[in-house]
Amino acid sequence: MVLSLWTEKYRPKRLDEVINQKHVVERLKAWVKEGSIPHMLFAGSAGVGKSSLALVVAMELFGEHWRQNFLELNASDERGIQVVRENIKNFARMKTIGSETKIIFLDEADALTPEAQQALRRTMEKFSSVTRFILSCNYSSRLIDPIQSRTAVFRFKRLAGDDVHAFLKRIVEGEKIKASEDGLKAIYDVSEGDLRKAANLLQASAALGEVTKETVYEVASRATPKDIKEMLSLALGGNFAEARKKLYDLLINQGLAGEDIIKGIHREIFELDIPEERKVELLERTGEAEFRLNQGGSEEIQIEALLAGFLKAK
């Protein structure tokens, strides 16, 4: 039996099913109703609905022929000019089926090289009568100005807790699984508004039984806020030996990555009952430790040094 992915099973099929992003959906509805769309640029972080919206637009515009009139490419797989010269141009030349236009969806377009972007600009101009381009990216600033000026730019917002909760509840009811409210909140905290990640976490947690806070953090391989808070309290309370012991429990016994522990520390600093000036100092020390980890520093040494810095910040 093939296990279906909930990210695909619960992907929206119509514009009315898209979660939030109302500022984008309303304009798309008007264009779809007219039967034509401009070139578009979807910019925003991962898992906020960019790819889903591109698919939904194609489904609503082309109906049963949407697969024949829709090409999806990922620019991070092939970043060079060849992908534009071959894949994109070949599809742009093809005759449409049951429609006057077709759509090329280029995901992660900001990964294209400058040369490939220039070639893409020329292709957009040449085939604009029969082809519409939807570009998706995390950072629109990495796309050249001529491409940005030829597209209607939409900024996708990070999804709020209520939006993610509503989406997760839909899956819980549809799959008839047990999930506590603490478990759903933990999924939002870990996914940080990324719906794709949230759905995958829910599916993986549900495989272990009831979805609880503990199972979510276990599946995500993240330190629980309780463990991080305990470690910080020990360090700030002057008990460095116990704080170090807690750190080694997270790194060795629980097998967590140093970067994830640093991110957990960053989140918990804001919840500490200490003056704002001290929080600023601790954030500065945390940023320094995170930078050194990214530069190849030892996890144990850098986080131990960070805890020692918290001790001095008393």
SS (H, E, C) the chain: CCCCCHHHHCCCCCHHHCCCCHHHHHHHHHHHHHCCCCCEEEECCCCCCHHHHHHHHHHHHHHHHCCCCEEEEECCCCCCHHHHHHHHHHHHHCCCCCCCCEEEEEECHHHCCHHHHHHHHHHHHHCCCCEEEEEEECCHHHCCHHHHHCCEEEECCCCCHHHHHHHHHHHHHHHCCCECHHHHHHHHHHHCCCHHHHHHHHHHHHCCCCECHHHHHHHHCCCCHHHHHHHHHHHHCCCHHHHHHHHHHHHHHCCCCHHHHHHHHHHHHCCCCCCHHHHHHHHHHHHHHHHHHHCCCCHHHHHHHHHHHHHHCC
Tell me the whole-structure pTM to 2 decimals: 0.79
Check residue 200 and give its pLDDT.
Answer: 92
CATH architecture of 21-155: 3-Layer(aba) Sandwich (3.40)
Q: Tell me whether the CATH fold assigned to 161-220 matches the one assigned to 225-312.
A: no
**Does CATH place domain 225-312 in 3.40.190.10?**
no
Check residue 79 and give its pLDDT.
Answer: 60
Check residue 46 and give its pLDDT.
Answer: 86
Check residue 1 and give its pLDDT.
Answer: 40
Q: Which sequence spans correspond to the domains of the chain?
A: 21-155, 161-220, 225-312
- List the CATH code of the domain at 161-220: 1.10.8.60
Check residue 291 and give its pLDDT.
Answer: 93
Check residue 273 and give its pLDDT.
Answer: 83
Enumerate residue ranges in the chain where pLDDT < 50: 1-2
pLDDT digits (tens, 9 = 90+) for 23-66: 899 999 999 988 889 999 999 988 888 999 999 999 999 988 89
